[in-house]
Chain A
């Protein structure tokens, strides 16, 4: 769990950025010092987000197979403190504060390349209700289908995060903090502002299951 943010700062100064890190961690172009810095940072992240980005506690989201642009955007938002929901403040403002831009890119690429978490079974009726909401939205209340941005199977695309296989309590909390504007996400706020708690629970149950 050692952070070694000094090494991260060093890694920034010696230019980790711009390398392409694939699912195999793609560290071929990195120096040994850069690899060590990335490795240590990933070890630190693993304390909460689990080995290879699959977390145990639902307080902490799975990062495995998350889209790299979304991860990068969030890490920057933690670092500049523009994402201000309670857990972001409690955990990630500190954790991201000393990350260099190249290290943020390297982390995002690493986690994007990890195998996706498997879905967990849940209440079939609730999941079916959530699937319908995810795929069709609520036209009568002008709530668009979630799938239109987050992908047909919830796999995410570009800055729209992967939701499939994510912990339901985490997703529910995010919808709530976006709804209450504690987490600044104007587009999503507009979409979820009229969602009922029951609708939220249904859609997160579905997403956790796939």
Chain B
């Protein structure tokens, strides 16, 4: 479900598919059913997590207040603890997208596509989200994608967590959660909303043009998406310190299996992901600062055998999140900066990249405000800067770059209204001040960055 930049030099079908790969994040009512707690316990406004929501996730999604189907063995050890009602949920997103200037027709040269695209649905998802057994829980999402007209495995995180109390005067002054996560998207397991999988914006158009690339760890054209599988361990100490290491490798669905030269961007061996974070909570405030990163070595594939030189990606990122959760007023600030160093030995050999050494730097900032979790607005800023590469970022109508640059920056403005906690009506405007290296005629075909400015209306319900 992910596509690398160099795969999509031309063609609007590819464009539509790759932007639809930027899957938004979700909140799930089955957790509310399982815990008996309102959405507001875990979310400021879905899908952003509160401190309690982070605890729920880190403890394995297992907090339950439902009648259980249980079993024990002859030594009285528990062998089964199953919710009496399965933790299932559905999600529906219906959206309308309009860009400043219509996109070219995908088949007739010189013609324009209809500007104003209604997707019913943009996405429809089915979730199993909740407890599986003592300490074992899941967030499992199957999604029908309207633009791609396909049904597939979406974000998934299955985890086991064990909680320990120890130390201090009372013998339980310290808490430690030790966990294991099995997931298919780096950072989908992360409890903060600064990291890419659950970062701002939480929903976006799946048909409007997006930047030509993104860091490997980021969501977007260059991201891992749901094409990997990872097994990791984490620790959460005293509700302050978080540390995690997860090893990923390719888990591409569809195509040739075992993976061979017909696949694209196949991870060589394993790609280690790491995460460190510190959170401080006081009064109604919480502040998190952290760092995360990934080292991946890929075989480009795409007709080339999965052997020989590899492309190496080293992503190192810092992030910070501030939340104020008042009775009436809620405010969140999010920031992350990702520095990616690329060493593209394989792509250069295969004629897919011109430079062995490239870099890509991504900055994302966002601020959100809600009044009584009912109505709110968000403002976001994004900035991508990277080295130019005539093969990696070749000129192509809409999707390419005339000066071979991935540089893109712009802003996102949002107004959200939630008549109920599980229903969001969103108006979003994305403005580009630079797109794929340029402000005017960025693609070499006369298109301006602002032509891609996008108005996006979304109805998002979870039930």
Contact = CB atoms under 8 A, between A and B. Distances in A.
Interface stretch (B52-60, B139-147, B182-190): B52-60
20 contacts: A1-B177, A2-B62, A2-B163, A3-B63, A6-B68, A39-B172, A40-B163, A44-B63, A56-B282, A57-B51, A57-B325, A58-B283, A59-B327, A90-B38, A90-B40, A93-B36, A93-B37, A95-B37, A95-B65, A169-B284
A47 interface: yes
Interface in A1-32: 1-7, 9, 25
A52 B173 contact: yes
A94 B36 contact: yes
Contact of A5 (B60, B65, B281, B283): B65
B52 A48 contact: yes
B165 to A, nearest CB: 6
A135 interface: no
Contact of A51 (B52, B58, B63, B172): B172
A173 B65 contact: no
B36 A95 contact: yes
Contacts of B63: 1-3, 44
Interface residues of A, number: 34
A58 B165 contact: no
Contacts of B52: 47-48
Contacts of A2: 59-60, 62-63, 134-135, 161, 163
A97 interface: yes
Nearest to B171: A25
A85 to B, nearest CB: 12
B16 interface: no
B207 to A, nearest CB: 37
A136 B450 CA distance: 68
Contacts of A89: 38
Contact of A97 (B36, B281, B327): B36
B175 A43 contact: yes
Contacts of B135: 2
Contact of A1 (B56, B66, B76, B327): B56
Interface in B51-98: 51-52, 55-56, 58-60, 62-68, 70, 76, 78, 81
A5 B62 CA distance: 11
Contacts of A90: 37-38, 40-41
Interface in A30-64: 33, 39-40, 42-44, 46-48, 51-52, 56-59
Interface in B151-199: 161, 163, 165, 170, 172-173, 175, 177
Interface residues of B, number: 40
A1 B172 contact: no
B41 to A, nearest CB: 6
Given A2-B60, A94-B35, A94-B65, 6 more contacts: A1-B59, A33-B76, A43-B163, A91-B37, A93-B37, A97-B36
A58 B41 contact: no
A98 interface: yes
B66 to A, nearest CB: 7
A105 to B, nearest CB: 19
Contact of A94 (B37, B62, B281, B282): B37
A57 B286 CA distance: 9
B403 to A, nearest CB: 50
A56 B281 contact: yes
A1 B177 CA distance: 9
Contact of B175 (A6, A46, A59, A97): A46
A117 to B, nearest CB: 14
Contacts of A5: 64-65, 68
Nearest to B170: A52
The interface centre, meaning the residue of A3, A58, A89 with most chain B CB atoms within 10 A of its CB, is A3
A98 B52 CA distance: 20
A25 B56 CA distance: 26
B37 to A, nearest CB: 4
The interface centre, meaning the residue of B38, B62, B173 with most chain A CB atoms within 10 A of its CB, is B38
A24 to B, nearest CB: 9
Interface in A68-94: 89-91, 93-94
A48 B55 CA distance: 10
Nearest to B62: A2
Contacts of A3: 62-65
Contacts of A43: 163, 165, 172, 175
Contacts of A9: 68
A149 B65 CA distance: 34
A47 B66 contact: no
Contacts of B161: 2
B70 A6 contact: yes
A76 B66 CA distance: 17
A133 B212 CA distance: 66
A98 B67 contact: yes
A169 B36 contact: no
Contacts of B38: 89-91
A97 B68 CA distance: 12
A119 to B, nearest CB: 15
Interface string A103-145: 0000000000000000000000000000000000000000000
Contacts of A46: 175
The interface centre, meaning the residue of B36, B37, B165 with most chain A CB atoms within 10 A of its CB, is B36
Contact of A59 (B36, B67, B325): B325
Interface string A151-195: 000000000000000000100010000000000000000000000
Contacts of B81: 6
List 8 tightest A-B contacts by C-beta distance, closest first: A94-B36, A90-B38, A1-B59, A94-B37, A94-B65, A6-B68, A97-B65, A47-B55
